[in-house]
Every structure is written in C-alpha cells, then in structure tokens.
Amino acid sequence: MATDFSATHTSTTVTSSTTKVSPIIRFDKSYIRTVPGILKVVQVVINLIGFICAQVALCSLCSESNWFSFVSMTAFWVTLILLIFYLFHVIEKTHIIPWLLVELVYCGVWTIFYLIAALVVSVNGRYDNAWAAAGFFGFVAMLLYGTDTFLKYKAWRTGEIAQGERTVTVTTSQTTSPTSPTYPAY
C-alpha cells in the first residue's frame, strides 16, 4: 500500500520584485554621504594627486610615467563622470543598464591596472621621490577600487540596483499531510 508523496505534500514559492525609480534628473547631494559616494570622491582626489606626482617626476615622459598617467587620468575622468551621474540621478533614470555590473567590471579592471602602474613607478621610486609618491597613491587607489569592486559584487549578487529602490518579496506556503500510514483500529 504505497501513498503518493505529491498528493500529500504541496509547496509553493512566489517571488515578486518591485522597482521604484524616478525618471526626473535632479541634483541630490545626499549621495556623497553614502559609502559608494565617499569612495568615489576619495578616488577622484587620489587619482588627481597620483597623476600630478607622475607628471612632476624627473622623467615624466618615460613609459612608467606615461602608463601611470594613463591609468590615473582615465580613472579620474570615468569616476568623475560616474559621480556626476549619481549626483544628478542619471543612473536612476537609465536603470535598464546594469550599472552595478558595469561598475563591477570597471573597478575590477582598474584595481589590476593600478596594481601594475603602482608597482612600475614604485620600483623606480628609489631614483625619484615623485615616482615613490605616485606609487603610494597608486596603491591607495588600488585599495579603493578593490573595495569598490567588492561592494559592487555584493550588491550585484543580492539583486540590488545601482540607484533607486528595489523591493523583493518572497512568499512561501507549504501544506503537509501526515506521512505515517493509517492502520485500522482493532
């Protein structure tokens, strides 16, 4: 006498998500007080300081300085543009673009680029103090972009959106019946 397991047990899981975004471009300085906002502001400053250090080096036209300048200036402009996009809610308006994934890749690549650039100028920093300073700021930038990569990865894995609000509701219902067989009473 076999019982059908599916007839006695039912389990239902319903997941729904609601995304609330505003299509209005507006200035909102409160982003600067968040952890990602603080990271972006500090990254912009460190990128600029590192670039200046590489440019005042004795051999500012050498390949080491050129590579470091490319890394720091590209990071400066891209991070500054992203900061402006967040401040004016352009990211929220264009929420269809997977901004967290875009920033995850960008920050990850720039972490590696800064590691290479900082190592290159630091190795030659014994000849020039400006290169040593650029190497220091390069390593600081590498840590900042690495932290940003980690935070973007965590947010991307949990299904968050870059700006705006997403609410995920999970409803689970389960109905079970007794699994032990019933015996007639004597």
- With a cut of 50, list the residues of the chain below it in pLDDT: 5
Using CA atoms, how far residue 154 sits from 100, 149, 151, in Å, is 10, 9, 5
Q: Residues 35-47: pLDDT tens digits?
A: 999 999 999 999 9
Using CA atoms, how far residue 28 sits from 33, 148, 151, 181, in Å, is 11, 21, 22, 65
Its pTM stands at: 0.76
Distance CA 100, CA 78 (A): 15
Please count the CA atoms within 13 angstroms of the CA of 15 that sit on its side-chain side.
3
Distance CA 98, CA 166 (A): 14
